[in-house]
Structure 1
Amino acid sequence: MTQRGRAGARPTNRRSGGRGHEATAEPQAPTAPRIDLVAARERVRAVIEPVVTAAGYDLEEVNLSRAGRRHLVRVLVDADGGISLDDVAVVSREISTALDAADETDGEVLAGEYQLEVGSPGVDRPLTLPRHWRRNVTRLVDVTVAGKSLTGRVISADDAGVVLDVAGKTREIGYAELGPGKVQIEFKRLDEAVFPDEDTDDDDDDFADDEDGEGEEK
């Protein structure tokens, strides 16, 4: 998680109306500058997508929101075979460097201070693209097909569609018929189990901070 800071506005004093008594207003927490979040998100995506692709990953999602005095940039990246926290930390630094370089050469991509979080998608991420289905072969999924909900196991997936095992029967389904899929957690499978001594949370996306766990101010 990377933070870039600029000095916030100074609190102003105001006078009360009683007999020369002067009161100082409570400092107000500065808020993030008002910007077009949709346009800013596209600027961020245009800057970081080549960096993520060059590193060998897919840029899955870019979200931009206001968080008090700064903007929060959340980036999800993924790859065939998954992505480790070490990989996330490396690509996070490269994304941060790219955003800073874009600021220096093209003007501010984001106005004011921002906080960057880079992570990998959790299992609750909807399956909407061929690569999502390919990366979840052997998993049980819920999906809507031609308006009807069904549950099946992904046998294979390619650029044309997926093959599902539905109640012991094989079904080949093109992507045009598929709604977003959702992976079902099977607790009986060891690869889905969470043990007390593991620092794992299947319900959330995995996000990596800087090595000291506190982020860095730029």
Structure 2
Amino acid sequence: MAKHTEIENRTEAMVLPIIEENGFELVDVEYVKEGANWYLRVYADKEGGISIDDCVLISRALEEKLDEEDFIEDAYILEVSSPGLGRPLKKEKDYLRSIGKSIDIKLYQAVDKQKEFTGILKDYSKDRIILEIDGNDMEFEMKGIAQARLSLDF
């Protein structure tokens, strides 16, 4: 297992009880390097949206656990925030909640010389999704989707 995946999984296991006991929802955990810095990001949400105070509560409780375990070798910056408007779709519940909504997907390999698609999520299963694009249904295998998120409509 890749180092970043192991860190994400351990962090998720540590933060999940904090999230659940406060009535929040864990959206995602990511450990990424941007420039010279490593970032450990936790995205949380709740009905009506998560507040800065909620993020501080999660951050302080998680910081304590991370300091106790001390399993991350690199220096890193911990960030706890809302998933934002273009919320990523990663888990089954994310896709199910998004049926009927407009989503953007990026594929690992091009289909008809195109890697990015936007459409209405019509159906989801563990193996595939169906998007309605310009009135036509297109099926995409889940294993071919590099990234999926809610569309930003302005």
TM-score w.r.t. the length of structure 1 is 0.47
Instruction: Report whether the alignment pairs 1:84 with 2:46.
Output: no
Instruction: Report whether the alignment pairs 1:158 with 2:125.
Output: yes
- Look up the match of 2:81: 119
The one of 3, 6, 30 equivalent to 1:61 is 30
Residues 115/127 of structure 1: CA separation in 2 closer, same or farther (3 Å cut): closer
Deviations 1:161-184 (A, max 9, x none): 222212223344331344533543
Aligned length: 141
Contact 2:103 2:118 (8 Å CA) reproduced: yes
Select the structure with the greater relative contact order (CA < 8 A; seq sep ≥ 6): 1
Percent of aligned pairs with the same amino acid: 21
More helix by share: 2
Distance in structure 1 (CA, Å) of the matches to 2:38 and 2:144: 36
- Look up the match of 2:136: 169
Contact 1:143 1:182 (8 Å CA) reproduced: no
Written as runs of structure 1 = structure 2, the 5 A alignment for 1:1-218 is: 44-45=7-8, 47-54=10-17, 55-56=19-20, 57-63=26-32, 73-78=39-44, 84-85=50-51, 86-103=53-70, 109-110=72-73, 115-124=77-86, 127=89, 130-137=92-99, 138-144=101-107, 147-148=110-111, 149=114, 150-181=117-148, 183-187=150-154
Distance in structure 1 (CA, Å) of the matches to 2:125 and 2:131: 12
Structure 2, unpaired ranges of 5+ = 21-25
Structure 1, unpaired ranges of 5+ = 1-37, 188-218
TM-score w.r.t. the length of structure 2 is 0.61
Residues 83/50 of structure 1: CA separation in 2 closer, same or farther (3 Å cut): farther
Distance in structure 2 (CA, Å) of the matches to 1:158 and 1:122: 25
Higher Rg of the two aligned structures: 1
Q: Per the alignment, in what secondary structure is the counterpart of residue 147 of structure 2?
A: coil
